[in-house]
Amino acid sequence: MENINPEIEQSWKVVLLKEFNKDYFIKLKQFLLDEKKHHSIYPKGKDIFNAFNYTSFDRVKVVILGQDPYHGMGQAHGLSFSVPDGVKQPPSLKNIFKEIASDLNLPLPETGNLSPWATQGVLLLNATLSVRVKQAGSHQKKGWEEFTDSVIQNISQKKEGVIFLLWGRFAQDKAELIDKNKHHILTAPHPSPFSVYRGFFGCKHFSKTNKLLAEQGLKEIDWKI
């Protein structure tokens, strides 16, 4: 499965080089090879590292952390919460757009493709980067979490002033990996229909993020899709 061999943007390849040679990553690669023999895996191999390929290490200003890729056909394309053009918006993504509309007085978009955020420096990172078709969480605890924890730690250690948007308990547990003296952490309930009314609606994370960027003299994110 040659496309699991990290075809990853060069600045990330430098930052993460040690990870690719660790035992857990070698085992993860073999697991994915075995999985692909018997199951459909999402996203496609070429898209697994899209979060990194769209947002180089040097350009990371904001991190939005998800848990798993979508497990329905055609949904996952390597960016957390995002779906490709032409694919129906999942409920959590619809709620994200509703909050943006309320927070920034922007129209609800027709597409669910968040790549315009990624190209502006928003790292759309899932903790697990692959999944078996129609089996949520099926690739958890196979090594991906160790890899993405290292991503978060490298950002924390090597950058300053990054804004981490941690939605839901799973994402908020990652706060321990982040140096709070160097970075900004905004937390809220998850945007899923089960928890969105517990405080995701009204969190104003998108205007708050832009305020924090402006205070650092950085270009604000255009959240309009």
Question: Measured in Å, how far apart are the chain's first and last C-alpha atoms?
Answer: 34
d(Cα 131, Cα 39) in Å, to the nearest integer? 10
Contact 76, 70 (CB under 8 A): yes
Report residue 70 CA to chain centroid gap: 12
Distances (CA, A) of 103 to 19, 70, 111, 214: 39, 26, 19, 17
- Which amino acid appears at position 56 of this protein? S
Instruction: Provide the annotated active-site residues.
Output: 68
Contact 109, 97 (CB under 8 A): yes
Helix (H, G, I), strand (E, B) or coil at 165: strand
